[in-house]
Structure 1
Amino acid sequence: MRTPAKTSRTAAALAVAAALGLAGCTAPEGEEEAAATPGVTDDTVTIGTHQPLTGPAAAGYSAVSAATSAYFAYVNDHGGVNGRAIEYLVKDDGYEPQRTNEVVTELVEDDQVLAVVNGLGTPTHSVVLDYLAEEGVPDLFIASGSRVWNQPALYPNAFGYNAEYTTEGAALAQYAMEREPGATVCVLGQNDDYGEGLLEGVEAVMGSNEITEIQTYTTASQDLTDQIGTLKAAGCEVNILATINGYTALAVGTAAQMDWAPKWYVSSSGADYPTLVGHLGEEAAAQLLEGMVCVNFLPFGSGSEWTALFEQINDEYNEGAPFTANTVLGMSVGYLFAEALAKAGDEPTRESLIAAVESGAVLGNGIVPLAFSETNHGGYGTVGIMTVEDGVQDYSGTTYEVEVGHVSAVEAAPVPLANGGIPTG
């Protein structure tokens, strides 16, 4: 969205530039490239993001950008990428679209970032999608599973990161049908693209007539009594949730107050066990979350070299913050940007950065390689099933690839750790 302030600032900048040109002034060596490529100097690359550091999504999600910052600090201490340190500007939008618009405008027009990386949230990022496209700013690895981001013809600069909500819904439904045949399946979701996308994935696998009850909620309300009461009355045995962490805990806690213990199948956005423990308390979480099923697409568990590296970085550069799935998410997306920057060349530009991602050489560090191309700007299309057993959340060994609602069991093919987790060109 363009604003009058932006228009006036742009006009003023053009007038100043024209005046300098007529005066015959020349920029010192090195500054012309910096002016031609926002956010790039001889020594640094500056990028930015919008994140919910406060507000209803802050619990858990505020850890994402802190982890990304920690990973970049690690990279910078080891020489940066192609000799440049990464400067990462984090703006708090409180999970409010209006504030997202304000802070992203600041990042682009005042801070002159090279790219916006991992902007978090479907309702929040949606309001800046067109603006970033108009400005030609690389809009990389959006922290949301909406399919809207994967439209290269409309948004050639935008790339998703998370598995699409339809992918997660389809995978969860497939697993429910295999492990709970004949169970009464219901859906609870956020009343936006998040909930709608997950529901669409469930319907693609089960058929809409096989879903017994569908309930939605808004993040403006902190009460799920009506929704959970309706699901209980419908006899739901498996509830598939499109909820952020706080509302997953609220749903599970509300059901417990009603003396109801169905099975919970949860999207990756709302299933981080340590975060849920923070909401529910250790004793309640151990009881209420036992057997919880969810999906993930990133390294996890004590057997992963990536997890071991990220735990080390977390201890050294993140002040020993709690190590959660959101820590892994933040560091993984940091690695992915560093990988793209390394492939963008010694003199990166916005154009070369986008070309690097589309080249197919940027793989990420997930349970399967990413598959970006000129025609595919979507994130992970393959997800693994995770379960909670005896208070431990880990992969179950079941991995699904989802294509247009068709779900196939595949073998995970994790991207190996190399060069200490610091990408090279």
Structure 2
Amino acid sequence: MRPLRILASTLTVTVLLTSCSNGEGTNGAATEADTMGVSEDALVIGTHQPLTGAASPGFRHVSTGARAVFDYINDNGGVHGRRIEYQVQDDSFDPAQTLKATRSLVDDHEIFAMLGGLGTPTHEAVIDELNEKKVPDLFVSSGALAWDQPEVYPYSYGFQVDYTKEAKVQSKFIAEQFPDDKVGLLYQNDDVGPSSHAGIEQYLTEEIAAWESYDPGVPELAGQVEELKKSGSDIAVCYCIPAFLGLAVLEAAAIGYTPQWVAPSFGGDVEVVTGLIEEYAQGTPAEDMPPEAFLDGLIITAFLPMVAQREDPWTEFFLGIHERYNSGTPFTDTTVYGMAQATLFAQVLMEAGPDLTRQKLLDTLNSHEWRGPGLVPFAATEEDHSGYTGVMVVQHHAGEEPEVLQEPMVTDSSGGEILPFDMERPSPGEVVLFGSGTGG
């Protein structure tokens, strides 16, 4: 069920993988391309992010979170004596702009690696070029299955749990906890839709009463939410980015539709969505209601600690960095997302050592079991580029810590079981992010 946008012949793949297996010249010295962006005292990396446009309200905090961690690392001496120079290009969640931004990063800024490029349609526009130029393309900020195709894209790696795995866990939970309820789906009309459906349909079939899609470039959901209500759906599962979850909840309230809302990790950032609801409600009857009331009871899946889980040691660690380096900005789940990406990248850099090349970075990434902020195991091997492998299920209660309804579980992107696991999660003090030592 893994989609392939490119059909590469066996010969082509073999040649590509062979060329990737050794980033050194015939005399054993690293090539100029393999050390692009690396100097004695600096390492240049880049990313494309929606700093403006429709997706900006939900995701602009990703890069501020990552930058805060890099600032923290740089203030503590950097990684093996190198400062991390983090170049962020705005693409407004527009694939054409993503292509321009990526070419600027690669050709003008000469980045060593792309880190956390955000969005499915946006990153699909540049993944071929990044792999052709052998630029490490780490931890793509999207749950699409496309990033986990090492035979086609050997330089690209996922990060967040993919849409199919997440939907599997959600749908099994709904089937078990709400067995007699009708379910309505609201989903984004790109890879989010079919990938999520592949997971949902493993546990929910006849229960699904409505399938409604939206275009992320069109901020209008009145018709879709009306159809969910007409279908009699007791559960509304919104595979939506934060801006559209907020819009959907407001539209439902306006027509007296009160389902149990369910959101995925990429859309259920309560801090962000609450702020959007407050903004959207201005000039409507809803403006007199406290915005936090609209999300009370929201069920969310998550693979990272949430900002409301203040007793989690990683949340506490990230909050300390945030308060020092991001003063005046909100501390959100998407902030933590960017911080976790930067943390994992720094772990890999530390383990790769001072003699850094692109190929050594990938070899190091493939050869370790990476543990850190994540609540579930992280997959990164030569055969598996999928990233985080499962989620927990929580319920948001306004003004309180989230209630854990189901402990973290892992699964695959096909028909495998959803299972508990055994993983020792390190504290922040046990993970080396800077200096000249090794860690991971």
Question: TM-score of the superposition, structure 2-length normalised?
Answer: 0.86
Deviations 1:256-310 (A, max 9, x none): 0001100111111110010011011394433221111111101231121111111
**Preserved contact between residue 172 and residue 240 of structure 1 (Cα < 8 Å):** no
Secondary structure of 1:89 counterpart:
strand
Task: Tell me, yes or no, if structure 1 residue 302 matches structure 2 residue 339.
Answer: no
Aligned-pair CA distance for 1:412: 7.0
Task: Tell me, yes or no, if structure 1 residue 81 matches structure 2 residue 89.
Answer: no
Report what 1:139 is aligned to. 137
**Preserved contact between residue 168 and residue 203 of structure 2 (Cα < 8 Å):** yes
Report what 1:21 is aligned to. none
Report what 2:53 is aligned to. 55
**Preserved contact between residue 170 and residue 407 of structure 1 (Cα < 8 Å):** no
Task: Tell me, yes or no, if structure 1 residue 166 matches structure 2 residue 164.
Answer: yes
Aligned-pair CA distance for 1:369: 3.0
Measure, in 2, the Cα distance between the counterparts of 1:266 and 1:35: 42
Measure, in 2, the Cα distance between the counterparts of 1:180 and 1:414: 32
**Preserved contact between residue 318 and residue 339 of structure 2 (Cα < 8 Å):** yes
Task: Tell me, yes or no, if structure 1 residue 288 matches structure 2 residue 294.
Answer: yes
**Preserved contact between residue 397 and residue 403 of structure 2 (Cα < 8 Å):** no
Measure, in 1, the Cα distance between the counterparts of 2:342 and 2:331: 16
Task: Tell me, yes or no, if structure 1 residue 401 matches structure 2 residue 404.
Answer: no
Report what 2:210 is aligned to. 213
Q: Note the aligned Cα RMSD (angstroms).
A: 1.8
Secondary structure of 1:268 counterpart:
coil
- 1:149–1:174 CA distance, 2 compared to 1 (3 A): same
Secondary structure of 1:67 counterpart:
helix
**Preserved contact between residue 317 and residue 428 of structure 2 (Cα < 8 Å):** no
Measure, in 1, the Cα distance between the counterparts of 2:360 and 2:321: 29
With 195-204 and 120-129 compared, the bigger mean Cα shift is at 195-204
Measure, in 2, the Cα distance between the counterparts of 1:291 and 1:407: 28
Measure, in 1, the Cα distance between the counterparts of 2:175 and 2:145: 25
Measure, in 1, the Cα distance between the counterparts of 2:70 and 2:274: 28
Aligned-pair CA distance for 1:58: 0.4
- 1:418–1:280 CA distance, 2 compared to 1 (3 A): closer
Secondary structure of 1:302 counterpart:
coil
**Preserved contact between residue 53 and residue 62 of structure 1 (Cα < 8 Å):** yes
Aligned-pair CA distance for 1:420: 7.0
**Preserved contact between residue 175 and residue 203 of structure 2 (Cα < 8 Å):** no
Partner amino acid, structure 2, of 1:73? D
Report what 1:11 is aligned to. none
Measure, in 2, the Cα distance between the counterparts of 1:36 and 1:402: 35
- 1:321–1:420 CA distance, 2 compared to 1 (3 A): farther
Report what 1:253 is aligned to. 250
Measure, in 2, the Cα distance between the counterparts of 1:35 and 1:102: 20
Aligned-pair CA distance for 1:106: 0.7
**Preserved contact between residue 174 and residue 407 of structure 1 (Cα < 8 Å):** no
- 1:393–1:105 CA distance, 2 compared to 1 (3 A): farther
Partner amino acid, structure 1, of 2:108? D
Q: Which residue among 387, 391, 396 is the counterpart of 1:379?
A: 387
Secondary structure of 2:347 counterpart:
helix
Map of 1:355-374 to 2, 5 A cutoff? 355-374=363-382
Partner amino acid, structure 1, of 2:427? L
With 321-330 and 46-55 compared, the bigger mean Cα shift is at 321-330
Deviations 1:71-117 (A, max 9, x none): 00001111111121111000000000000000001111111100000
**Which structure: greater helix fraction?**
1
- 1:195–1:392 CA distance, 2 compared to 1 (3 A): farther
Deviations 1:232-270 (A, max 9, x none): 000011111110000000000000000110011111111
Deviations 1:369-417 (A, max 9, x none): 3121110000111111121123435251512222224442425746212
With 338-347 and 150-159 compared, the bigger mean Cα shift is at 338-347
Measure, in 1, the Cα distance between the counterparts of 2:422 and 2:172: 17
- 1:35–1:146 CA distance, 2 compared to 1 (3 A): closer
**Preserved contact between residue 116 and residue 341 of structure 2 (Cα < 8 Å):** yes
Deviations 1:104-143 (A, max 9, x none): 0111111110000000000100000100010000000000
Report what 1:267 is aligned to. 264
Measure, in 2, the Cα distance between the counterparts of 1:80 and 1:226: 52
Deviations 1:203-260 (A, max 9, x none): 12223x3311100000121110110111100001111111000000000000000011
Percent of residue pairs identical: 36
Measure, in 2, the Cα distance between the counterparts of 1:237 and 1:291: 14
Secondary structure of 2:146 counterpart:
helix
Aligned-pair CA distance for 1:163: 0.4
**Preserved contact between residue 185 and residue 210 of structure 2 (Cα < 8 Å):** yes
Aligned-pair CA distance for 1:195: 2.1
Task: Tell me, yes or no, if structure 1 residue 330 matches structure 2 residue 338.
Answer: yes
Measure, in 2, the Cα distance between the counterparts of 1:322 and 1:180: 34
Map of 1:227-246 to 2, 5 A cutoff? 227-246=224-243
Partner amino acid, structure 1, of 2:264? S
Report what 2:7 is aligned to. none
**Preserved contact between residue 205 and residue 406 of structure 1 (Cα < 8 Å):** no
With 338-347 and 112-121 compared, the bigger mean Cα shift is at 338-347
- Structure 1 residues not aligned, in runs of 5+: 1-31
